[in-house]
Structure 1
Amino acid sequence: MKIIKTISLLISCTFNMFSQDDIIAQDVRVEFISIKQISDTDKSKIIETIYKKNDTLVRLKPEINKDDLDYFCNCFKTDSITRIYQILAFTHKRKRHDDNSINQWNSNVVVYFDKFFEKKTIDKFKLFFKPLNKIKNLHVSYTKKIKDANYHILNSKNTIKNYENNDSIYSESFLTSKATYKLVNDNNNKYYSGKLLIDVDSLKDKSLILKKMKQLFFISLGQFQTNYFLGTKSLTSINYIETNRINSFDLMLLKLHYFKIHDFNFTRRKFRILKSKLKKHCS
């Protein structure tokens, strides 16, 4: 897990915006797909065509409606939020920094808890993440049947050591000491299953169980970077001090991240273009 210690200054470019009625066109998508893959309805959205010997490739006009715009504008409380978002969210690495992309859950997150965990721990977890119900395009629910879940929170059957790097070995209170998570994604950076493991048997301080659950689950919703610069309130912070309520910044982070489920590779560069276009329409 990479730890970010400093914030770099991110520079945004300005582009012109085209709007028509309640539809805002975001000209950031550059992928072409086969015309065989689209419906008759979507054929009206074709803005560019490439004819090949055995197929016809087309590029569709992406659209954001007025509700999407209002939701997006609500996230622009300050530019610092979007600068930090770019640092935390674009974690799918590419050769070029601007080509780093985000990771999203494209399916409902259905959580199953190992029967090993106490009911009071599970209840506190559910209450803590209840505000996620208001996050657009992100749905978290719970089940008692493991076969119905795509996200398992389990007591690890294997030993998980304390986190270490080239410099030192961390204590068990460190986020990924005696705990970890694994996600399964498709070729479009979309997650469809996950597993959070805590080595409860070797964890001396059992009060850390809920804290590790909260942090790792939140981070796994977007593969967010951990950091030192957000103090003690954000779940992404290495120095996070456990609270009973989720931080307002963390909720805003998720709102930005799930503002729209992107059906293409959404990079840092495309985010900055989209931001500069839409911000002009935020009152």
Structure 2
Amino acid sequence: MKSIISFLIIVLLSLSGFSQKKQKSKHLRYFPLETFKKNYNHTLTKKDSLNFMIRDKDTLVLITENMKSIGTFVDYAYKDSIFLKHYKKVAFNHKNDSLDPTTTMKYWKNDIKLFFAKSVSRKEKKAILKFVKIISNNVDSLNIYEAKNHADSNYQIYYSTDYNYDSNLKNLKGADYWIYWNGDNQIYKGVVKINTEKYFSESLRIAKIKTLLFRSLGHFELSDEFDCRSYFSNCFSENKQITDFDYELLRYHYCYGICKGTSLNTFEIQHEDIKKILNEDHHAIYRFYYSNN
């Protein structure tokens, strides 16, 4: 299995005995070779190679105590099958309303810094900033705030009467967002454009910007299975609100208890592997490793 971003998965199996004599826990840690080279300051020896494991055409390295890593270990975030069913539909932006195993999840690793063009009124800007502040306060690892200057921003919000900040939306007739991501599926730039001829009132524009901005937090797909008030719902409403389940989905997307930036196929395989481990050994702890780089 290929390395997805500068982190990888690690399994810690904590096995305890039932005898009166206390036993030491056994920790087995395997990293894909390419990711190991990026995250460990250790020269592999012939002795190390004796513990290599081959899986899905990838070489996995057994991590030993003398190998120093740079990163953080985070416990696996468990969710039931019903939740994961909904999550996979919205987090992996599928085409033609069918689950595509090759599609990948997208997320922002760095802060989102919003720049508002001149045509965005004070009332509109205030409403949007209040909206993103609530999200930032309720979702770890997701920080959104205003950048006073365009040069300091990585996300622009503008209207058809403003300078066109992105050529991909040059001929837009309605409203849309556009985002950019790197090879690790980390979003690093975004824009929202509103055509004021169609969205002629402040309330319409505010509602549409909120909807588009929310979707761009993960290139989320919308679903008909949610109430229209939900931001994951495939219907437009000026009365949308971030529901409890919206928050749960968004928090899960940005938590570090899952492997980020993966394809749907990899995501499903990893969860199946974790379930097997946890079912076979109730003392097992599944953890993800994240590089600090």
Range class of TM-score, shorter chain: 0.5 to 0.7
Counterpart residue number, 2:41: 40
User: Which of 172, 189, 194 is the equivalent residue of 1:198?
Assistant: 194
Displacement of 1:207 in angstroms is: 2.4
**What is the match of residue 136 of structure 1?**
140
Identity among equivalent positions (%) equals 22
C-alpha displacement of 1:113: 1.2
In the alignment, which residue of structure 2 is the partner of 1:173?
A: none
Paired with 2:191 and 2:73, the residues of 1 have a C-alpha distance of 35
Give the structure-1-normalised TM-score. 0.67
Structure 2 stretches of 5 or more lacking a match?
1-10, 16-24, 64-68, 162-169, 286-293
Cα-to-partner distance string for 1:10-35 (whole Å, 9 max, x where unaligned): xxxxxxx75349999897x7573483
Q: CA deviation at 1:255?
A: 1.1
What is the aligned partner in structure 1 of residue 13 from structure 2?
19
Q: Structure 1 unaligned segments of length 5 or more: list them.
A: 1-16, 51-56, 162-177
User: CA shift at 1:41, angstroms?
Assistant: 6.7
Residues in 1 aligned to 2:152 and 2:119: alpha-carbon distance in whole angstroms = 18
1:117 and 2:120 aligned:
yes
Give the equivalent residue in structure 1 for 2:180.
184
Any conservation in 1 of the 2:129–2:145 contact (CA below 8 Å)? no
Is the 1:109–1:151 Cα contact (8 Å) retained in structure 2? yes
Larger radius of gyration: 2
CA contact (8 A) 2:133 2:145 kept: no
CA gap of 1:264–1:249, structure 2 versus 1, over 3 A, is closer
Q: Which stretch has the larger CA shift, 229-238 or 210-219?
A: 229-238
After TM superposition, the score normalised by the length of structure 2 is 0.65
Secondary structure at the counterpart of residue 200 of structure 1: coil
Residues of 2 paired with 1:183 and 1:270: CA distance? Answer: 23
Preserved contact between residue 91 and residue 101 of structure 1 (Cα < 8 Å): yes
3-state DSSP of counterpart to 2:101: helix
In structure 2, the CA distance between the partners of 1:118 and 1:59, relative to structure 1 (3 Å rule), is farther
